[in-house]
Structure 1
């Protein structure tokens, strides 16, 4: 805070006869933060888990992502292999240290999962923290499990999303984030990703891959 602002606030506190450290005042502020009024939440993403999943799929496809469903995490490598073959991509994919990736049955395919390096690879895979049905958006948190650069640098990004992690709206996603990480704590980066990267800034011509992957393939794992 600048010296001028500090002096102004000090003058206000002096005029009010308070220091800002009074217990009743602090209690009022803490109660206000703990019970903040809820904002308006769109109805589009609401519903039971199957309904939320279908809304998410519709919105993700509308945003030009591709999408597949599998029955379990064990079926993810086969779907990844099919995507790589269908797009004539190399038989290797970069991922982070997420233990769920490590336990998948990669040995049953001819494709190789390698730990993330500098993001210069053509294809990457990551497990999303959650999905938002309202807009078909994925949420990724930073860390060694799912490094942020793998969401942005490769041309193709494959996102694994467990159906049980699809919530109705952004507010519930942020509430889940606080529950997982604890009050007052956050991952260093939280990315919201809706479809592949695109821009139409130049001559109003749509360009895919402007700021990130040209292709986003979402694998929904039906764990609910």
Structure 2
């Protein structure tokens, strides 16, 4: 543990009047953190492929999920989807996706963070959770967070081999993959933005995108 983190946690413990963890309690905590023990309260998932469960989860929360054979089909799938919505074939996308042939599919794309004037934003998920239809995105120069929240239409590309069953599984995998290279922000997005504050009537797009499309590649 870093000196800075130890100082902060030490101040919290002192404020709560709690002693430092004993070696035995710390060992139990480390085992839980690194996936050595599963949460017995997490719900059992239906006996179906994770891709099916995830797609159903996305649709349950008012999102859309298109299953494509591989990442190379993402540009054509997005172009077709935008045409069906009556939206111009233009998008602002994460630089991490620049290697795909967007122009060849007839899409006009720009790269980088959104300034709030883009109708369509395209992101890449680091993981996705079948239990709830949630996509998990990391911040950084290659995956700007603004693309997740400012455009009206949010499109997320995720590979099927990045699907996990439960949230507990997601944190275990993230720790393994990221090691000490954690981003400043991890976003968990489940469906488009919504609110029912006014007369308990559901409104999409209240605080962010009003449409969410997930392109699930390799499923």
* TM-score, normalised relative to structure 1: 0.82
Give the Å deviation of 1:8: 9.3
Aligned residue runs from structure 1 range 178-197, under 5 A: 178-182=175-179, 186-197=182-193
- 5+ residue gaps, structure 1, are 14-19
1:77 correspondence with 2:75? yes
Equivalent of 2:106 in 91, 107, 110: 110
RMSD: 2.5
With 135-144 and 104-113 compared, the bigger mean Cα shift is at 104-113
| Rg comparison, structure with higher value | 1
> 1:186-210: CA deviations, max 9, x gaps?
3211111111111101111111101
With 81-90 and 120-129 compared, the bigger mean Cα shift is at 81-90
> 1:62-82: CA deviations, max 9, x gaps?
111112111111111001111
Equivalent of 1:206 in 199, 202, 209: 202
Structure 1: how far apart are the matches of 2:216 and 2:121?
Answer: 16
Equivalent of 2:95 in 94, 97, 106: 97
> 1:21-80: CA deviations, max 9, x gaps?
xxxx764344122223532221126x6xx7111111111111111121111111110011
* TM-score, normalised relative to structure 2: 0.83
Summarize the Cα distance change of 1:213–1:8 in structure 2 as closer, same or farther, 3 Å threshold. closer
> 1:124-162: CA deviations, max 9, x gaps?
001111111111111111111211111111100011111
Judge conservation of contact 2:156–2:215 (CA < 8 Å) in 1. Answer: yes
Give the Å deviation of 1:6: 5.3
- 5+ residue gaps, structure 2, are 1-7
Summarize the Cα distance change of 1:160–1:6 in structure 2 as closer, same or farther, 3 Å threshold. closer
Where does structure 1 differ by over 6 angstroms across 4 or more consecutive aligned residues? none
